[in-house]
Amino acid sequence: MTWEDSRVEMTKEERHVLADLFQAASGFVLREDLKFVAERRLAPRLELLGLRDFSAYARYLRFDPRGPDELDLAIDLLIPHETYFFREPTQLGCFTDELLPDLEVRGARRRSLQIWSAGCATGEEPYTLAMLLTTRPALAGWTLDVLGTDLSHQALTQARKAEYGSTSLRATSDAQRARFFDDLPAGRYRVKSQVRDLVRFGQLNLLDAGNAALLPRFDLIFCRNVLMYFDAPTRKRVVEGFYDRLYDGGVLLLGHSENLLTLSTRFELVQLEADLVYRRPR
Ligand SMILES: C[S@@+](CC[C@H](N)C(=O)[O-])C[C@H]1O[C@@H](n2cnc3c(N)ncnc32)[C@H](O)[C@@H]1O
C-alpha cells in the first residue's frame, strides 16, 4: 500500500478543529477545498503515530507533550514553500530601476540598506534581491543586509545551504546563472559567496508580533505569496507590523495577486512606472 492509498477521511468537524489549531499557530487557513490535500499529506503522520483518525490526531496535537512539534511539522507539510529565483521580473525591475536609485539618493549619508524578505521559504527570494544589489555600482562600499525569515525550520535549513536544482533556476538566464552561481555536480548550483555574504536567515512566525518588534528597521520589505494564506484580520495585523518595521518612506512589496485594497492600513498606495507599491509616508 502506498501513502496515497492510505488516505483517512477528514470529517467536517475534524477539519474545523484542525483548522483552528493551524490558524492559531501560523495564520494558515485550512479551507474546505484543501481538505483532500490535507488528508493525503497528513495520512503518513497518522500512520506513523498509530492514530486511527483525524480526531485522534487533533487530540495528539492539543494534549500530547510532543503535540507542538507535530503541529509545526503538520503546518510545514500543508503550507506551500513554492518559490524560485528571479520570480516576478516586472516587480524586480521596479526594485532595481526605480526603488534602488531612489534609496541610493536618500540613503547617501547612511550608506546602508536593510531589506527583509518575510516568508522567504527556501531562500531564492532574498538571494535574488542580494544578487540585484550587487549589480548597482552606486552601492559599492555600502552596508547591505538582506534578512530572510520563515516559519519553517526545514525551509531555512535549505536556504542556509544555498544549493539548488534547475527547478529553482527556471526563470534564471544563462548570464545570471554564470554570474551568481557556482556549478556543483549533478546539475546543481550554489549561490556565490559574495551574494551569500549579504543574506542572513532567521526563523520567525509573522503572527508573533513580539518577536517581529525585535527586528531592526527596514528600507524595503518583500512579503510575496504569503498573505494569501491568511484571513483578512490576520493579514491586517501582519501588515500593520510591517508598517512599524519600515523607516519613513520605506516600501512594502506584495505578490502580484495580493493587495491591501480591502484592508484599511496606514500605508499610501504609490503607482510607480512598473508596479504598485505600499509606502510608509515620508
Ligand atoms: C509560497 S512561499 C513564498 C516564498 C517567496 N516569498 C516567494 O514569493 O517566492 C510561502 C512561505 O510563507 C511561509 N509562511 C506561511 N505562514 C507564515 C507565518 N505565519 N510566518 C512566517 N512565514 C510563514 C511558509 O512557510 C512558506 O515558506
Pairing of strands 218-223, 112-118: parallel
By CB atoms closer than 10 A (0-12, 13-18, 19+), residue 143 is: exposed
Residue ranges lining ligand 1, Cβ < 6 Å: 26-28, 79-83, 87, 119-121, 125, 150-152, 155, 205-207, 224-226, 229, 255
- Give tens-digit pLDDT for 120-160: 999 999 999 999 999 999 999 999 999 999 999 999 999 99
Distance 117 CA to ligand 1 centre (A): 10
What pLDDT digit, counting tens, does each position of 223-236 carry? 999 999 999 999 99
Q: Give the three-state DSSP class for 166.
A: coil
- The answer to whether residues 239 and 267 touch, using CB atoms and an 8 Å cutoff, is yes
Q: Which of 72, 85, 151, 231 to mutate to test the pocket of ligand 1 (most atoms within 8 A of CB)?
A: 151
The pLDDT value recorded for residue 2 is 46
Task: Please give the pLDDT value at position 129.
Answer: 98
Probe ligand 1: pick from 150, 164, 258, max atoms within 8 Å of CB? 150
Q: Show the domains of the chain with their CATH numbers.
A: 12-78 (1.10.155.10), 89-279 (3.40.50.150)
- Reading the block at residue 59, the C-alpha cell is 487530540
Nearest atom, ligand 1, residue 122 CA: 27
| Residue-level pLDDT at 1 | 40
How does pLDDT run along the chain (282 residues), one tens digit per residue?
444 455 689 999 999 999 999 999 999 999 999 999 999 999 999 999 999 999 999 999 999 999 999 999 999 999 999 999 999 999 999 999 999 999 999 988 899 999 999 999 999 999 999 999 999 999 999 999 999 999 999 999 999 999 999 999 999 999 999 999 999 999 999 999 999 999 999 999 999 999 999 999 999 999 999 999 999 999 999 999 999 999 999 999 999 888 887 787 899 999 998 888 999 999
